[in-house]
């Protein structure tokens, strides 16, 4: 399962949790984020979205939902 | 005419602290080819380029008229149309062209349109003995010369001796087929000269098309393309690789019609304020979990040499003893060339090629393609067909590790489009050196399209 510490913050670990979300931990603090870096719960409130994208991107993993509508742009305003 | 750019002196120009790319080449375990020793940094000025280049239909329409209808562009690989009658459709900005292998074995290109009432001649790639229209049956030989009109007594007014498909300029380079929609265009040799000189050693013609993946990206084609034209974005977009990538010590070289960014692998980013051990750099390079065992680097080898050796042994079964001539840099670094306006062959041996273009006439979506070339032993394997990813399919599902990296770039693209449509800025701010390839692209666009 993918996991790594943030190169700019080596005490902070990013890993995939059992629910398909990203768990971030630093000492006794944790936070749970979506695979796009949106906050879900916990006392760590901010994440690097690109590391969430990276750790959550596991080709072949049935839980993977890269799209979630987020790769599209909104309809063009006139 | 856009203002000319000036030479910079590599010894005195502003650049990142830490090792230069040329310093790293000095540690190579093999002879370094001259092409990697070239340096061509340019002072491209500090101007901003208009946001409207990405956001307006008006700019897109001018691009179509002054760029896409005029410029040489990569249409396909020669190996995709090996036999007489093989044909491929190449579409750009609402126009469709047909690239055909003739009976004589040469390659011709025509507008993909019947000379009767204009129906597209071939909707799908394939093989045909003649180019016959599906509407009323008008037909042309594979070389574009007139062949047949059913009930031709009713077309006595058409001069059959000149009723041929209009021919477009075609050229080949290293196994790639280029066409130009402009019948009076400048010679291909002038267009390709700079790039051709750089690729003498690498010869992509000797490789075969091992994979081809395409996807419609929700952004202007230049937003997609420019995401691959600098390594400055690595700190924000690909932080996971900073322990093993010299992002801001990339070397950027600009020539007249091509440019390159070389980003060294197996060395850590100067942006990290701590010493990275070779083991931790290797962990990042191999994308191993934080608590997994990392292979030992043999005594007497540095990380770049070790990574190069691994790559040599991976390639050896298909590339043979050629691998022993490849220097470490050729096996470890990202040597990303761009041929104006939209073709990106990587140098050396990893075989990556990108192409970016507008998605039809939509200035807010683009077609991004990755074509992987690979060495082979014996008979040339058949070229891989293009795989089109759906909107909800990730690049990683088709390209594995490389695709994971693209997915991070793709994560930005629609957000850049939306940001540029929301910004109060009139221009895009670019760095002086690291983003000078993006400056070069816009400088060329100014020449072709105008302000
Ligand atoms: S930091 Fe480059 S677009 Fe925001
Ligand atoms: Fe990138």
Do B135 and B259 fall into the same domain? no
Question: pLDDT at position A71, please?
Answer: 40
DSSP string, B337-373: EEETTTEEEBSTTS-EEEEEEEETTEEEEEEEEEEEE
Residue with tokens 């096996």: B331
How close is the nearest chain B Cα to the Cα of A75, in Å? 10
CB neighbour list of residue B252: distance below 8 Å, 6 or more residues apart? B41, B230, B259, B260, B261, B433, B434, B436, B437
**8 Å CB contact of A7 and B364:** no
Position A73 in a domain: no
Question: pLDDT at position A67, please?
Answer: 37
By CA distance, what is B413's nearest residue in A? A71
Q: Give tens-digit pLDDT for B133-189.
A: 999 999 999 999 999 999 999 999 999 999 999 999 999 999 999 999 999 999 999
* Percent above pLDDT 90 for chain B: 97
Residue B278 sits in which domain range?
6-65+205-449
Position B264 in a domain: yes
ipTM tops the 0.95 cut: no
Per the structure, how many domains does chain B have?
2
Position B196 in a domain: no
Cα B317–chain centre separation: 27
Helix runs in B56-187, H state only: 57-63
Question: pLDDT at position A61, please?
Answer: 63
**8 Å CB contact of A6 and B411:** no
Position A34 in a domain: yes
CATH of the domain at B209: 3.90.380
How close is the nearest chain B Cα to the Cα of A1, in Å? 7
- Whole-model pTM? 0.95
Q: What's the mean pLDDT in B201-207?
A: 95
Q: Give tens-digit pLDDT for B67-93.
A: 999 999 999 999 999 999 999 999 999
The answer to whether residue A57 neighbours chain B at the CB level (below 8 Å) is yes
Per the structure, how many domains does chain A have?
1
> Residue A65 pLDDT more than 80?
no
Do B161 and B303 fall into the same domain? no
Query: What value, to the nearest 5°, has the Cα angle with vertex B339 and ends B334 and B344?
Result: 40
Cα B1–chain centre separation: 26
> Residue A75 pLDDT more than 90?
no
By CA distance, what is A55's nearest residue in B? B240
The answer to whether residue A71 neighbours chain B at the CB level (below 8 Å) is yes
How close is the nearest chain A Cα to the Cα of B291, in Å? 8
The answer to whether residue A49 neighbours chain B at the CB level (below 8 Å) is yes
> Residue B351 pLDDT more than 80?
yes
């Amino acid at each position: 399962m993918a996991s790594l510490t943030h190169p700019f913050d080596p005490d902070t670990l990013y890993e995939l949790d059992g629910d398909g979300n990203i768990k971030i931990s630093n000492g006794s603090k944790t936070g749970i984020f979506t695979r796009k870096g949106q906050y879900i719960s916990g006392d760590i409130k901010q994440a690097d979205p690109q590391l969430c994208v990276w750790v959550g991107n596991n080709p072949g993993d049935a839980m993977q939902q890269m799209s979630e509508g987020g790769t599209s742009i909104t309809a063009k305003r006139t | 005419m856009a203002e000319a750019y000036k030479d910079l002196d590599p010894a005195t120009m502003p650049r990142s602290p830490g090792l230069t790319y040329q310093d790293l080449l000095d540690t190579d375990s093999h002879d370094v080819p001259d092409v990697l020793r070239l340096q061509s940094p340019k002072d491209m000025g500090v101007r901003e380029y208009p946001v409207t280049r990405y956001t307006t239909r008006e700019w897109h329409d001018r691009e179509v008229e002054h760029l896409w209808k005029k410029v040489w562009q990569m249409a396909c690989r020669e190996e995709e149309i090996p036999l007489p009658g093989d044909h491929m459709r190449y579409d750009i900005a609402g126009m469709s062209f047909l690239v055909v292998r003739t009976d004589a074995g040469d390659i011709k290109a025509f507008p993909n349109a019947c000379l009767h009432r204009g129906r597209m001649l071939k909707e799908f790639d394939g093989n045909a003995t003649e180019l016959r229209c599906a509407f009323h049956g008008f037909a042309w030989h594979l070389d574009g010369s007139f062949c047949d009109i059913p009930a031709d007594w009713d077309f006595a007014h058409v001069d059959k001796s000149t009723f041929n498909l209009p021919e477009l300029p075609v050229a080949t380079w290293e196994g790639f087929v280029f066409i130009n929609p402009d019948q009076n265009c400048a010679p291909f040799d002038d267009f390709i000269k700079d790039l051709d000189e750089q690729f003498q050693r690498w010869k992509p013609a000797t490789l075969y098309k091992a994979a081809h993946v395409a996807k419609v990206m929700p952004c202007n084609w230049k937003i997609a393309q420019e995401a691959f034209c600098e390594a400055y974005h690595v700190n924000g977009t690909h932080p996971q690789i900073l322990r093993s990538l010299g992002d801001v010590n990339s070397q950027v070289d600009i020539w007249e019609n091509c440019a390159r960014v070389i980003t060294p692998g197996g060395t850590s980013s100067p942006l990290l304020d701590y010493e990275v051990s070779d083991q931790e750099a290797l962990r990042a390079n191999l994308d191993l979990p934080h608590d997994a065992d990392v292979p030992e680097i043999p005594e007497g080898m540095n990380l770049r040499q070790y990574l190069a050796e691994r790559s040599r042994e991976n390639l050896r079964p298909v590339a043979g003893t050629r691998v022993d001539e490849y220097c470490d840099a050729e096996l470890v670094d990202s040597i990303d060339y761009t041929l104006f306006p939209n073709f990106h062959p990587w140098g050396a041996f990893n075989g990556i090629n990108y192409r970016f273009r507008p998605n039809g006439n939509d200035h807010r979506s683009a077609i991004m393609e990755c074509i992987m070339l690979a060495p082979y032993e014996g008979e040339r394997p058949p070229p891989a067909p293009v795989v089109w990813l759906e909107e909800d399919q990730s690049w990683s599902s088709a390209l594995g590790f490389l695709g994971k990296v693209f997915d991070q770039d793709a994560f930005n693209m629609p957000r850049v489009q939306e940001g540029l449509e929301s910004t109060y800025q009139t221009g895009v701010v670019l760095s002086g050196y690291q983003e000078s390839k993006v400056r070069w692209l816009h400088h060329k666009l100014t020449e072709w399209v105008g302000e």
